[in-house]
Amino acid sequence: MKKLRFGAALHFLIAIGHVCCLFALDKAFEAYGIKDFMHQMVSGHTWMLYALTIGLAFAFCVAGLYALSATGDIRRLPLTRMAVITIVVLYSLRALVGGISCINDFTWLRCFSSLIPAVIAWCYWPGVKGNFYTNLR
């Protein structure tokens, strides 16, 4: 349960970080080396970058709420087990891809950005177990 709560806290911190990045969005994109890609993706509609960042912050908050739902700290959300499994799979893939990219082009930011998803997947792992949910009913 402590791991899931820690994973929820990490998600809420990541969401806060995304909201803080709204004030310097181009600098954040530049730090990650995706500034040109992001601007090409929105075809000059800069407001879409802000909407996407707010959407990501919201998604991180929802992922944190699912961890709290799995621990029983808040009311049970629909499809909690499926959501936790999805979070573990997505973060494991993100950590794997990030780790491979660190081999090709190592930076501390890239390494840190790959390590955090691995930690989150590890935190959510107890929520994947089927017998974990029998105690919550």
- Confidence (pLDDT) at 52: 95
Taking residues 44-55, report their average pLDDT: 94
Q: What per-residue string of b and e applies to 103-117 under the rule 16 or more CB within 10 Å gives b? A: eeeeeeebeebbebb
- Tell me the pLDDT band of 132, cut-offs 50, 70 and 90: low
How does DSSP assign 4-71, residue by residue?
Answer: HHHHHHHHHHHHHHHHHHGGGHHHHHHHHT-HHHHHHHTTT-HHHHHHHHHHHHHHHHHHHHHHHHHH
Q: Quickly count: other Cβ atoms within 10 Å of residue 10's Cβ.
A: 20
Please check the confidence at residue 26 and state whether its pLDDT lies above 70.
yes
- Confidence (pLDDT) at 133: 53
DSSP code, position 135: G
- Confidence (pLDDT) at 130: 56
- Confidence (pLDDT) at 11: 97
pLDDT digits (tens, 9 = 90+) for 68-105: 999 999 999 999 999 999 999 999 999 999 999 889 88
C-alpha–C-alpha distance, residues 129 and 30, integer Å: 39
